[in-house]
Amino acid sequence: MKKLIILLLCFFNLAFAVDAKLEIVKKSQNLPKIVVAIAKNSKDINFLKKVKKVIVNDLKVSGHFNVEATYVSTNFNSKPDLYILQKNNVDLYLNIDSINTGFGGITVNTKLYDINSKQLVQNKSFSTKYEKRYPFLSHRIAIAVNKYLKAPSIDWMDKFVIFSVYKDSKKADIYIGDYTLSFQKRIVSGGLNIFPKWVNNEQKSYYYTTYRNSVPTLIEANLYTGKKKVIMKSEGLIVASDVSKDGSKILVTASPYGQADIYLYDINTKTKQRLTTYKGIDVGAHFVENDKKIIFVSDRLNHPNIFLKTIGQRGVQRVVYHGNNNSSATTYKNYVVYSSRDKANEFGIRTFNLYLISTKSDFLRRLTSTGVNQFPKFSADGESILHIKNINGRSYVGIIRLNYNKSFTFPLNGGKIQSIDW
Which of 27, 22, 16, 13 is CA-nearest to residue 405?
27
Total domain count, the chain:
1
Please, which pLDDT band fits residue 24 given cuts at 50, 70 and 90?
very low
- Predicted local distance difference test score (pLDDT) of residue 367: 94
- Predicted local distance difference test score (pLDDT) of residue 349: 62
Buried b (16+ CB within 10 A) or exposed e, 307-322: bbbebeeeebeebbee
Q: What percentage of the chain exceeds 70 in pLDDT?
A: 91
The whole domain housing 74 covers: 33-155
- Predicted local distance difference test score (pLDDT) of residue 180: 94
Distance of CA 300 to the CA centre of its chain: 31
- Predicted local distance difference test score (pLDDT) of residue 361: 82
What average pLDDT does the structure give for the chain? 89
Asked if residue 46 belongs to a domain, the reply is yes
Asked if residue 6 belongs to a domain, the reply is no
Asked if residue 26 belongs to a domain, the reply is no
Please, which pLDDT band fits residue 160 given cuts at 50, 70 and 90?
very high
Asked if residue 122 belongs to a domain, the reply is yes
Q: For residue range 333-359, what is the model confidence (pLDDT) as tens digits? A: 889 999 999 876 655 566 899 999 988
- Predicted local distance difference test score (pLDDT) of residue 10: 39
Q: What percentage of the chain exceeds 90 in pLDDT?
A: 75
Average confidence (pLDDT) over 275-300: 94
Buried b (16+ CB within 10 A) or exposed e, 274-288: ebbeeeebbbbbbbb
Asked if residue 147 belongs to a domain, the reply is yes
Please, which pLDDT band fits residue 16 given cuts at 50, 70 and 90?
very low
Please, which pLDDT band fits residue 13 given cuts at 50, 70 and 90?
very low
Q: For residue range 188-242, what is the model confidence (pLDDT) as tens digits? A: 999 999 999 999 989 999 999 999 988 999 999 999 999 999 999 998 889 999 9
Asked if residue 338 belongs to a domain, the reply is no
Average confidence (pLDDT) over 323-338: 91
- Predicted local distance difference test score (pLDDT) of residue 317: 94
Backbone dihedral angles phi then psi of residue 3, each to the nearest 5 degrees: -65, -40
Asked if residue 144 belongs to a domain, the reply is yes
The answer to whether 128 and 134 are in contact (CB under 8 A) is yes
Asked if residue 56 belongs to a domain, the reply is yes
The answer to whether 355 and 148 are in contact (CB under 8 A) is no
The answer to whether 167 and 173 are in contact (CB under 8 A) is yes
**Parallel/antiparallel/unpaired status of strands 317-318 and 92-100:** unpaired
Please, which pLDDT band fits residue 29 given cuts at 50, 70 and 90?
low
- Predicted local distance difference test score (pLDDT) of residue 169: 84
Distance of CA 40 to the CA centre of its chain: 35
Which of 395, 406, 358 is CA-nearest to residue 373?
395
Distance of CA 344 to the CA centre of its chain: 28
pTM: 0.87
Q: In CATH, what number is assigned to the domain containing residue 145? A: 3.40.50.10070
Q: Residue 119 in 3-state DSSP?
A: strand
- Predicted local distance difference test score (pLDDT) of residue 347: 52
Residues 22 and 16: their CA atoms lie apart, in Å, by 10
